[in-house]
């Protein structure tokens, strides 16, 4: 298999790296128009439009929303329908996620100044959240846990899940995960019509305050169009892993770690950085041998040859510089003393430290979230967390003395900005 081999000492290395990283989602006018129409239609006609689109796109024959609603008994039944081993694994993962995410919960805070003025922030959960879960082949129960549990830990009262069931096919593991994660209600809806229902509400589907979860281009486009009316999570690009290895990890392990990203889809990006040229050769040999055994061989080969790379660097300092430039979604530090190196990482969605920490463990059950910033957005954004389901209100309570003192400063600044009503409003509170 062909995989790009780069060397940081080559002229043009950084621009070649930038070219490799470059990714822009295509915005298609046809998709935009379709989505715009669906949003308007569901907003206007509510349930009737929802049922029609669902029958059309998912090849269903529902006569009303009752047939597109799953009650709690149905989710309970799903728990019984899946293998005991799977149920136990989901429950273990969920419990670990809850424990980890509880650490993220923000609390209200305030302080009182000498003159009695109180300042702070009050933290509250969102009222109601919508969770989009894709149907068909890319239906991942782990994704249900990762999106719903932080909302549940935050204290969100109602978590509404939508999941399309093309041809009526229901994924039992997904429903079981929903039950475990604390989802309140499930509608078997998908596409832009499901996003519209969550954003605007219909006779049956209550409007939510934020929509999270992955979806295809129609879902992503619909989410960005309803943003502002509701909150949304980041629109994710292709998944990525950057493995930094000192050359002392089993090359088979590293090859499989790269595969675990590459198998997601053809656009996924898996890159290995090492100061050890011979090790890069060994990993290449492992890749060529192991890929033959993989069920998703074609996807892995396309991903690695189109977007993968093996990068030789001078030393670990340069490896860190490359990692900070890439700002990867997943960063594996397969090295000695990973804690010291992790402190030098300024940008990464998640840092997997040491030779034992396979990214796959973090994807499912270590505790941290697997919804992470992609496409270099780790420069300015964070993993999905409890904090995404809470918000803050500033608290200001001036004492009479505080208002008098602060009113004078406010008055000077307001008059400097020619905002006289601001000034006079503050001046009313100044004592003579």
Nearer to a copy of itself, 158 or 252 (CB): 252
Q: Which stretch binds a copy of itself (CB under 8 A): 10-18, 214-222, 306-314, 376-384?
A: 376-384
Minimum distance, C-beta of residue 107 to a copy of itself, in the bound complex (Å): 12
Q: How does strand 69-70 pair with strand 185-187?
A: antiparallel
Identify which of residues 4 and 429 has a Cβ nearer to a copy of itself in the complex.
429
Residue 261: closest CA among 292, 217, 215, 307: 307
Is residue 386 within 8 Å of residue 104, measured between CB atoms?
Answer: yes
Residues 87-146 that bind a copy of itself (CB under 8 A): 88-90, 92-93, 100, 103-104, 109, 111, 117-122, 124, 126-127, 140-142
CB atoms inside a 10 Å sphere around CB 272 = 27
**Do residues 158 and 182 make contact, with C-beta atoms less than 8 angstroms apart?**
no
| Contacts (CB under 8 A) with a copy of itself, residues 250-279 | 250, 252-253, 256-257, 259-260, 262-264
Between residue 194 and residue 233, which ones bind a copy of itself under the rule CB under 8 A? Answer: 209-210, 228, 230-231
Among 6, 20, 49, 366, contact with a copy of itself (rule: CB under 8 A): 366
Please say which residue, 60 or 414, places its beta carbon nearer to a copy of itself: 414
Give the other-Cβ count within 10 Å of 321's Cβ. 17
Annotation-wise, does 172 bind a ligand? no
CB–CB of 378/327 below 8 Å? yes
Size of the site for a copy of itself (CB under 8 A): 119
Which residues touch 150 (CB under 8 Å, ≥6 apart)? 101, 104, 369, 384, 385, 386, 388, 389
Q: How far is the CB of 1 from a copy of itself (least distance, A)?
A: 14
Q: Exactly one of 152, 330, 347, 370 is catalytic; which is it?
A: 330
Residue placing its CB nearer to a copy of itself in the complex, 66 or 340: 340
Write down the H helix ranges in 165-235.
172-181, 191-200, 217-226
Q: Which of 240, 312, 329, 359 is catalytic?
A: 329
Look at the block and give the residue holding tokens 């008994």.
73
How far apart are the C-alpha atoms of 197 and 343, rounded to whole Å?
A: 44
Q: What is the CA radius of gyration of the chain?
A: 25
**Contacts to a copy of itself from residues 401-420, by CB under 8 A:** 402-403, 406-407, 409-410, 412-414, 416-420
The residue range among 50-58, 68-76, 181-189, 289-297 that interacts with a copy of itself, by the rule CB under 8 A, is 289-297
Tokens read off for 79: 């728990």
Binding window for a copy of itself (CB under 8 A); candidates: 39-47, 48-56, 273-281, 394-402: 394-402
> 263 catalytic, yes or no?
no
427 is catalytic: no
Q: Which of residues 43-72 bind a copy of itself (CB under 8 A)?
A: none
Least distance CB 95 / a copy of itself (angstroms): 10
How far is the C-alpha of 88 from the C-alpha of 344, rounded, in Å?
A: 38
* Residue that the structure tokens 């920490």 belong to: 357
Binding mask 8-27 for a copy of itself (x = CB under 8 A): -----------------x--
Angle, alpha carbons 43-45-48 (nearest 5°)? 125
**Calpha distance 324→35 (Å, rounded):** 37
Interface with a copy of itself, residue 381, by CB under 8 A:
yes
CA distances from 59 to 190, 221, 224 (A): 12, 22, 26
| Residue 16 · residue 297 · CB < 8 Å | no
Among 154, 198, 220, 398, binds a copy of itself (CB under 8 A): 398
User: Which residues are known binding-site members for substrate?
Assistant: 239, 261, 264, 330, 363, 417, 422
By annotation, the residues acting in catalysis are 329-330
């Amino acid at each position: 298999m062909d995989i790009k081999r780069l060397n940081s000492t080559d002229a043009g290395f950084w621009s070649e790296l930038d070219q490799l990283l470059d990714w822009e989602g295509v915005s298609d006018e046809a998709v935009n128009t379709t989505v715009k129409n669906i949003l308007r239609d569901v907003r206007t006609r509510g349930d009737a439009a929802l049922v029609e689109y669902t029958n059309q796109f998912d090849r269903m024959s529902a006569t009303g929303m009752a047939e597109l609603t799953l009650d709690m008994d149905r989710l309970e039944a799903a728990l019984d329908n899946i293998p005991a081993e799977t149920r136990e694994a989901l429950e273990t993962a969920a419990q670990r996620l809850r424990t980890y995410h509880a650490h993220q919960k923000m609390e209200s805070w305030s302080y009182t100044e000498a003159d009695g003025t109180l300042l702070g922030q009050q933290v509250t959960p969102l009222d109601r959240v919508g969770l989009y879960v894709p149907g068909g082949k890319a239906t991942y129960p782990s994704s249900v846990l990762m999106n719903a549990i932080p909302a549940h830990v935050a204290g969100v009262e109602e978590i509404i899940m939508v999941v399309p069931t093309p041809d009526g096919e229901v994924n039992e593991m997904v429903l079981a995960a929903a039950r475990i994660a604390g989802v309140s209600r499930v509608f078997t809806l998908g596409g832009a019509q499901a996003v519209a229902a969550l954003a605007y509400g219909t006779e049956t589907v209550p409007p939510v305050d934020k929509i999270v979860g992955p979806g295809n281009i129609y879902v992503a486009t619909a989410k960005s169009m309803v943003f502002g009316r509701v909150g949304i999570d980041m629109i994710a690009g292709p998944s990525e892993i950057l493995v930094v290895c000192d050359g002392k990890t089993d090359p088979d392990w590293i090859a499989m770690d790269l595969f675990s990203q590459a198998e997601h889809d053809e656009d996924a990006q898996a890159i290995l950085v090492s100061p050890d040229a011979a090790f890069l050769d060994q990993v290449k040999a492992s890749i060529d041998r192991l890929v033959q055994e993989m069920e998703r061989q074609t996807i892995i080969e396309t991903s690695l040859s189109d977007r993968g790379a093996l990068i030789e660097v001078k030393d670990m300092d340069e490896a860190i510089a490359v990692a900070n430039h890439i700002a990867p979604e997943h960063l594996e530090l397969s090295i000695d003393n990973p804690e010291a190196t992790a402190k030098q990482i300024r940008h990464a969605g998640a840092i997997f430290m040491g030779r034992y920490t396979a990214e796959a463990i973090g994807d499912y059950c270590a505790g941290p979230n697997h919804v992470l910033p992609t496409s270099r957005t780790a420069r300015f954004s964070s993993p999905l967390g409890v904090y995404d389901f809470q918000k803050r209100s500033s608290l200001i309570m001036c004492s009479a003395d505080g208002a008098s003192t602060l009113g004078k400063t406010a008055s000077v600044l307001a008059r400097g900005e020619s905002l006289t009503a601001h000034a006079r409003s503050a001046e009313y509170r100044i004592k003579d």
